[in-house]
Each structure stands twice: as C-alpha cells, then as structure tokens.
Amino acid sequence: MSELKNDRFLRALLGQDVDYTPVWMMRQAGRYLPEYRATRTRAGSFLDLCKNPELACEVTLQPLERYELDAAILFSDILTIPDAMGLGLYFVEGEGPRFRKTVRSEQDIADLPRLNADSDLAYVMQAVRTIRQALGGRVPLIGFSGSPWTLACYMVQGGSSRDFRQIKTLLYRSPELMHALLGKLSEAVTDYLNAQIRAGAQAVQIFDTWGGVLADGAYQDYSLAYMQKIIAGLIKEHEGRKIPVILFTKGGGGWLELMAGVGADALGLDWTVHLGQARARVGERCALQGNMDPSVLYADAPVIRAEVARLLAQYGPGNGHVFNLGHGIEQHVDPAAPRIFIDAVHELSASYHS
C-alpha cells in the first residue's frame, strides 16, 4: 500500500498533533454533486451504485477532486447487513429505505442467517480495496456500519418511522427478543467492520442514527452496550497503524460522558451540542468530530466562514478535533458552498494548533 500523504484525520482522532483541523463531510459523495448524479444515472438505482465497486469508487473520489478534504468515506449504505440477511432492501424516492420483509417475531429473529462479511458482502470489500488503490495514499479511507439499534429499527419497522412503534413495542414487551436481535446484529457488525479494516479501511465510524429516539436508560441497554461490544471486538491495528473508531449517536448529546467510556477514539456530535462544553465533559478520553448544522451551507460565504470561526473558537486550542457537519450534507446545497466551508476550516484552524 502507498504511504499515507495526509494523515491529519487519523492523528486528530487519536488526539495527536496536527498543523490544522482536518475536515470531511458525512455523505460527501452525494446528490448535491452533478458528477454524482451522472454516475448514479449510469449505475441505475442507488443500490446498484452501492453494489458496483468501480462506480462506488468513482463517487467516493468525486468530492476529493473538488475539495481539499482530509478523508474519504466508503460509498455505501448503512443497511447492507440486513439486505445481505435477505430482507430485500429497496428505496422509495423521497421516502428513504424500505425492506420487503420485517423482523418482529422470535422465529423471524431465529431465521436471520449468520453472515460472513467477506463473502456475503464481498461487493463492499471489493469497493474498499478499489478505493484504497485509487486513493494512492492521498487521504485515509473511512469504513462504516449502522449501529445494531439503528439496523434493528429499520428491520423491525420495515423502513423509516416517526414513532418507532413496532420496535419500541418489541423492546418494552419482549426485551429478551430485542436483546436476541441486537446480539445477532452486533456479531454481524463486528465481522463487517473487521472485514472492511482487513480490506483497507483506515478508520471506522458507527452510525447510531436512531439511538437518540431511545429513553435515557434504554439507550444505555439497547444501543450503547452493543456498540461497546462491537468496539471490543474490532481489530485494533492494521498495516502498522491504529484503526480509530468514531461513535456517532444523533441526538445523543446528553450521553457524551457515557459514550466516552465504551472504547471509541472519537465521538461524533450533532449541531445541538456546544463543542467547548462537549470537550469539557469528555476530557482527554475521546476526540470530537463535528458539528456544523449542514443547513449553514445554504448561507452566503461570510456566514459560513463566521460559523466555522465560531465553532473553532468553541473547541479552542489544541488537538482532538475533526471538523464535520452534524449530519449528512443535504442534496440541495450548491457545490460552491462546501469549498468555502472546507477552506475556512483549514485557514482559520491553523492558529489553534502550535
């Protein structure tokens, strides 16, 4: 593998010295880019694009051609695992993911196959290898998975939800079934992330998109505990480098102290959290990744720069910060805006690093 030319992202996740704050954007390969839409059209459906390693590589690299990003992230979906388990993932335009089969009964859970990520999700591993090759050491590649709780939400509900009625009924009426499902998913996620690391992912992020819909107490038992289990089972080092783990629970700002204790190297923050307060709460235990509201990218350049300046000042001087958006970049953003954002992070952060 080629030498890594820009390792600021990996260093920042581990709290090491950097000359400026590294930045990437969740969903940086996406519909706001015309070149993405063109590749997507060639691929067919969104899922066809995810399952085509060459095209997945192409879109992964597109934002790097435009912007001075400090990391690439594997182009894929968070629901590849349940899809590989046979639930039949598909997408309804404007309504998000759906499954043809739901998982609600003891039998449904027992019937879920045990996956081997290297073979059952070979297309993902092939994409990771292809992207690493194409990156040629330019920036590190991030692998990822949905959290067990987040995967379970989609599997039990059969798609997105407002009230999460089916899965919460399962949780509160049949906690033992809920734990059985989450246990199976934790094993699958651990295997999946380890396969990505072996294929070349240099950091991994666990997306706990729906952890924030859980009550305090339930979050600890049904989401955080399983993410802790996964982290404990991950490959710690590969190609002679530590593989940092980022934990991101959207809406989880109230639980940062707990999240800091489960072995992750960095915590993702949504934009409701004050960066300086989060840093004080978490201390030296974890780096922080975040957290500008992606809607700021609808603003004019001076407002974008001012927001970047405000957030850098909130975090303050020193290491352990990766700049990002608090959620995925939105499809209606003008592609000129991320450049203003990314360049502002680099330019304005230098003075915070010695």
Which positions touch a copy of itself (CB under 8 A)?
A: 163-165, 168-169, 171-173, 212, 214-219, 251, 253-255, 271-274, 292-293, 295-296, 298-300, 303, 310, 326, 330, 332
> Between 217 and 240, whose beta carbon lies closer to a copy of itself?
217
- Least distance from a copy of itself to the Cβ atom of residue 294, Å: 8
| Closest-CA residue to 159 (of 217, 90, 106) | 90
Strand partners of residue 248: 207, 268
Contact 203, 76 (CB under 8 A): no
- Least distance from a copy of itself to the Cβ atom of residue 33, Å: 18
- Least distance from a copy of itself to the Cβ atom of residue 301, Å: 11
- Least distance from a copy of itself to the Cβ atom of residue 153, Å: 13
> Between 75 and 255, whose beta carbon lies closer to a copy of itself?
255
Can you tell me which residue has the tokens 């004050």? Answer: 274
> Between 6 and 295, whose beta carbon lies closer to a copy of itself?
295
- Least distance from a copy of itself to the Cβ atom of residue 208, Å: 13
* Rounded-to-integer distance, Cα 35 and Cα 66, Å: 11
> Between 212 and 233, whose beta carbon lies closer to a copy of itself?
212
Catalytic center residues:
27, 31, 40, 77, 154
Give one DSSP letter per residue of 263-314, joined into a string. Answer: S-SEEE--TTS-HHHHHHHHTTS-EEE--B-GGGGGS-HHHHHHHHHHHHHH
Report whether the peptide linkage leading into residue 291 is cis, meaning its omega lies within 30 degrees of zero.
Answer: yes
| Closest-CA residue to 324 (of 256, 262, 246, 221) | 246
- Least distance from a copy of itself to the Cβ atom of residue 343, Å: 18
Tell me the H-state helices in the chain: 8-13, 34-43, 46-50, 53-66, 80-82, 106-111, 117-120, 122-135, 148-157, 165-173, 175-199, 218-219, 225-232, 256-259, 275-282, 301-315, 336-349
Q: Checking phi first, is residue 67 left (phi over 0); if not, alpha (psi -120 to 50) or beta?
A: beta
- Least distance from a copy of itself to the Cβ atom of residue 292, Å: 8
Contact 327, 26 (CB under 8 A): yes
DSSP character at residue 114: P
> Between 187 and 330, whose beta carbon lies closer to a copy of itself?
330
Pairing relationship of beta strands 287-289 and 321-322 according to DSSP bridges: parallel
* Rounded-to-integer distance, Cα 227 and Cα 288, Å: 17
The greatest distance separating any two alpha carbons of the chain, rounded to the nearest whole angstrom, comes to: 58
> Between 127 and 273, whose beta carbon lies closer to a copy of itself?
273
> Between 193 and 297, whose beta carbon lies closer to a copy of itself?
297
